[in-house]
Amino acid sequence: MKTLLFVIVLAVLAWVYFTKIAKKGAAPGADEKGNSAEQPRRRQLLSEREQAMHNRLSHALPELVVLAQVSFSALLTARAYAARNTFDRKTADFVVCDKAFQVLAVIELDDASHKGKTDKDAARDAMLVAAGYRVLRYPNIPDIDRVRGDFIPAAQSQPVPAA
């Protein structure tokens, strides 16, 4: 009986010892199970490049509404969970709307992170196009004339011939 009691006490002490070692090895701020207890931190809403693009769009299209970092869930819907899962964690860089918030175009500003991801980008674009959206993808920040040209129909931008 003394031997059994000794083994139980030894097992409890070993468990306590190893639990404390495991806890010490956990990340700072972790709970007793080792899960991170990190608090969310503030971050910049748009990168400097995205800010420049937003400013370019807003300046070139003053009569339109330019939204940034729009979730695909705001643009797309589906009843089936599997279909929603294909877009629920994606965001569009910019969405240009008229004053009634009817979407005129979804704009993607490509950067170095898009290299080698042409298939993924094409799939994202195809999903939006299939839902009826116009997608514009710029590799660099376009000049004002290019932006205006992409939004003003050719017939409106050409002078009317004199009669």
Q: How many domains does the structure of the chain reveal?
A: 1
Using pLDDT thresholds of 50, 70 and 90, give the confidence band for residue 157.
very low
Does 28 map to a domain? no
Does 126 map to a domain? yes
Does 7 map to a domain? no
Does 115 map to a domain? yes
Span 60-92, pLDDT tens digits = 999 999 999 999 999 999 999 888 888 888 999
Does 70 map to a domain? yes
Does 30 map to a domain? no
Angstrom distance (rounded) from CA 136 to CA 105:
7
Note down the domain range covering 144: 48-151
23 Cβ neighbours under 8 A, 6+ residues apart: 30, 32, 34
Does 93 map to a domain? yes
Instruction: Give the global pTM.
Output: 0.69
